[in-house]
Structure 1
C-alpha cells in the first residue's frame, strides 16, 4: 500500500520493521480513535506499514476488530509484530494496493490510514478517498492522520521542506485538505485535530 522508505528502519535485535515516528504518535492518535471509533465494529487500516500502530491500537480497542492491509512486500513485517503481540481482535494483513486491488470483501464501518496520502501520487490519493467514500456505510467513520496543507499553505517550514523531499523522491507530496474534501464526497469532514510534529487527524463521516 505505501512505500515506507521515509519512516521505517530495521532493528536487528527485533528482526522486524520499526518506526520511531509510530512510537511517538501512537498515544496521541489512540486518544482520538478511542473517541471516534467508539461504536465501530470492524476497522480497516489502509497502509499498516510496520504493523506497530495495529498491535497498539487493537490492544486498546478491544470492542472492535482491527483489519490490517498493505502491499504484500510489507506483510512479513506486519506479521512479525502481530506474532509478537497477538490479540483476538487483530487480523493478519490483506493485500491492498490502491489502483490495483479491489476493496476488500469485509463488513467495514471504520477506516484508519496514517501517512499514506502524501506518499501516493495524486491520482492514487484521489482513488483512495473515493474508494473509502463509496464503500463505507452511512455514518461510517474515516480517521486520516498525517501532514496536510490548508488552502495551499503549509502549516510549518518543516512541512514545506518535507514536501520538497517527498517530491524529490518521486512521491506525490503533501495533500491539500480542500482537494481531499472534493475527492471524498459524500464523506464530510467533521473535525480537524492538531497533533504533535505539525500533523493532523482528519475525522470524516459518511452521510
Structure 2
C-alpha cells in the first residue's frame, strides 16, 4: 500500500522515526518494509542501519514507482530489488527479524490490516518485531484535531480507510501471538507502535 503524502513528508519524518527505531533494530539483520512508497525510508535505512538487509515491498499497482526510485541501489545487497506484496495474498517465503510500515494502516481496509498482522506473525522470526508508524487513536489519549480531521477526510475519500484504534490493533496482534512492547510519541501527533512475536509462537 502506498502512503498519502509527498517526498517532503517522508523526508520530514525519516529522522525521528529512525532515531526511535535504531535501538529496537540494533540486533536485526533482515527487515521487510511494507509500502515502501518512493524509497525514501529505505535509502535512509542504509545510512542509519548499515547492518540491516532492508527488503522493500509495495502493492503491485505501485511497485513500478518504487522500483524506479531504487534502480541505482540494486547493486547493494543491503537494499535488494523491491517485491510486489499485497498483504491479503501470498507473502514472501523468507523470515524477517522485523517488519516495518509507515503511514499504511490508515489507508488499508480493515481486512487488509488484519491480513498485515496475520502475515507478519507468519514471516517474523522468533522474538521478531512488527513496527508501525503513523496516526492512531487511543482511548488513553485525547485525539488531536488534526487527526480527527484527517480521519474524516480519509473516510470521505474511501469508507474502508480511516485512522485505526491502538486497542483494536493490540487485539489483532494478540490473536497472532504478537505482544505490544512500545508506544512511542512522535512528531505531528503520530506514534510508533512496536509488537514482539512470542518466541514460542509458530503460526
Q: Same fold (TM over 0.5)?
A: yes
TM-score, with structure 1 as normaliser: 0.87
For residue 152 of structure 1, report the CA deviation from its aligned partner: 8.5
Q: Distance in 2 between matches of 1:66 and 1:111?
A: 10
Q: Deviations over 1:91-110 (max 9, x none)?
A: 111110121x3121113111
Q: Aligned to 1:134, which of 122, 129, 150?
A: 122
Moved >4 Å (runs of 4+) = none
Q: State the partner residue of 1:205.
A: 196
Instruction: Identify which range, 52-61 or 172-181, moves more after superposition.
Output: 52-61
Unaligned stretches of 5+ residues in structure 2? 199-203
TM-score, with structure 2 as normaliser: 0.89
Instruction: Identify which range, 84-93 or 188-197, moves more after superposition.
Output: 84-93
Q: Is 2:46–2:78's contact at 8 Å kept on the other side of the alignment? A: yes
Task: Judging by fraction of residues, say which structure has more helix.
Answer: 2
Q: Distance in 1 between matches of 2:137 and 2:46?
A: 30
For residue 133 of structure 1, report the CA deviation from its aligned partner: 1.9
Q: Is 1:55–1:81's contact at 8 Å kept on the other side of the alignment? A: no
Q: State the partner residue of 1:177.
A: 166
Q: Distance in 2 between matches of 1:199 and 1:67?
A: 24
For residue 114 of structure 1, report the CA deviation from its aligned partner: 0.5
Q: Aligned to 1:89, which of 69, 78, 82?
A: 78
Q: State the partner residue of 1:47.
A: 35
Q: Is 1:190–1:204's contact at 8 Å kept on the other side of the alignment? A: yes
What's the Cα RMSD here? 1.7
Q: How does 1:1-207 map to 2 (within 5 A)?
A: 2-4=1-3, 6-8=4-6, 19-84=7-72, 87-99=76-88, 101-151=89-139, 155-170=143-158, 171-185=160-174, 186-207=177-198
Q: Deviations over 1:28-55 (max 9, x none)?
A: 0111221111111110001111111111
Aligned pairs, number: 194
Q: Secondary structure at the match of 1:165?
A: helix
Q: Secondary structure at the match of 1:43?
A: strand
For residue 151 of structure 1, report the CA deviation from its aligned partner: 2.2
Instruction: Identify which range, 148-157 or 160-169, moves more after superposition.
Output: 148-157
